[in-house]
Amino acid sequence: MSSFKSPISLATSGDGGGDRVGLSHRASGEVHVIVGPMFAGKTTALLRRVKAESNSGRSVAMIKSSKDTRYAINSVVTHDGTKFPCWALPNLMSFRQKFGADAYDKLDVIGIDEAQFFDDLYDFCCKAADLDGKTIVIAGLDGDYLRRSFGSVLDIIPIADSITKLTARCELCGKRAFFTLRKTGETKTELIGGSDVYMPVCRQHYVNGQVVVVAVQNVLKPCSKIQSDSHMEEVAVV
């Protein structure tokens, strides 16, 4: 009977003693994902989980994107004002160095808010959970205002231990809201804002709302062009 050879290379220590397997004996990590539209309570759920981990004696740290400066720079803040200190970073792979290698090794749980803004989300989660044994709790938008995949959040679904899809309340009818409607005519994907820019809506009002937004844009474009042409004429006369 032929023997089975594992495709995983087993590293040995230089002196031949100690742990013969390259992987350490630390406990396996976990990845938990919280998604949903804006105003669904994703940050609240994230903070609740991280605080519960802290209250149980585990070491925790929170990270958010440095792009998000709406309510505070060095705190994760819910829409109702609840705060939790955090590391505001442009990318996740720099966290270990900034946090400190020794402190990172002792860390049990890492919370990540506004995860859609981190391009290195997948690589970080793989390393932190698979190799470093960390529990990662992530909150972010799964879709943008056009209901398309937003950032790398959906990329980590295959490596997640659990996925929680939250819903908000439709601002127009009160039904469950699964989508985020952008009120403005801005078309760039990353547009950070609050209730002045976005509202949670149900499917019906998302479709109707998109029709209204497009109609408003079509009305405003000619007006904007007329104003621009008028301004140019005034300049030419002067």
Q: Which listed residue (114, 171, 190, 233) is catalytic?
A: 114
Taking alpha carbons only, the member of 136, 127, 179 closest to residue 49 is 136
* pLDDT at residue number 160: 98
Domain boundaries, the chain: 30-166
Contact 153, 34 (CB under 8 A): no
pLDDT, one tens digit per residue, over 5-60 is 433 333 434 444 444 444 555 678 999 999 999 999 999 999 999 999 999 999 99
- Structure-token pair, residue 14: 């230089």
Q: Average pLDDT of 157-165?
A: 97
More confident residue, 215 or 205: 205
* pLDDT at residue number 12: 38
* pLDDT at residue number 2: 43
Rounded CA-CA distance 167/175 in Å is: 10
Classify burial at 62, counting beta carbons within 10 Å of its beta carbon; exposed 0-12, middle 13-18, buried 19 or more: buried
* CATH number attached to the domain at 30-166: 3.40.50.300
Contact 162, 138 (CB under 8 A): no
- Structure-token pair, residue 187: 């078309």
- Active-site residue 114, yes or no? yes
pLDDT, one tens digit per residue, over 50-88 is 999 999 999 999 999 888 777 677 888 877 777 899 999
Q: Any residues with CB less than 8 A from the CB of 227 and at least 6 apart, and which? A: none
* pLDDT at residue number 29: 96
Taking alpha carbons only, the member of 212, 142, 143 closest to residue 172 is 212
How many CB atoms sit inside 10 A of residue 157's CB? 12
pLDDT at 223 over 60: no
